[in-house]
Amino acid sequence: MANSKLITRLKRSEGQLRGIQKMIEEERDCADIITQLTAVRSSVERVIELMITENLTECLDHPLDDPEAQKERLEKAVQYLIKRK
């Protein structure tokens, strides 16, 4: 995925967070704020998923010449997946 698409997704999340700040300042309903926070969390998690997918694809499509370094690279990518759960 192109970086520009990731940046666009992050900017959208940033805008959502600003909106949430405004909602809090205006003392809007808690349930509405939580709904928006959940949407932001989902959006950021999707960016993380895309980054992990891109990283794993890069590891598999362009393996390193050093097998040990390649193993460490793949293990690190797998750790990203494990930490998310």
Q: What is the pLDDT of residues 44-79, one digit of tens each?
A: 999 988 888 888 888 788 888 888 888 888 888 888
> What is the residue extent of each domain of the chain?
1-83
Q: What percent of the chain has pLDDT over 70?
A: 95
* Predicted model pTM: 0.74
Q: Which CATH superfamily does the domain covering 1-83 fall into?
A: Metal-sensitive repressor, helix protomer (1.20.58.1000)
**Dist CA 84 CA 71 (whole Å):** 20
CB count within 10 Å of CB 20 equals 19
**Helical pair 67-84 and 30-61, crossing angle rounded to 10 deg:** 170
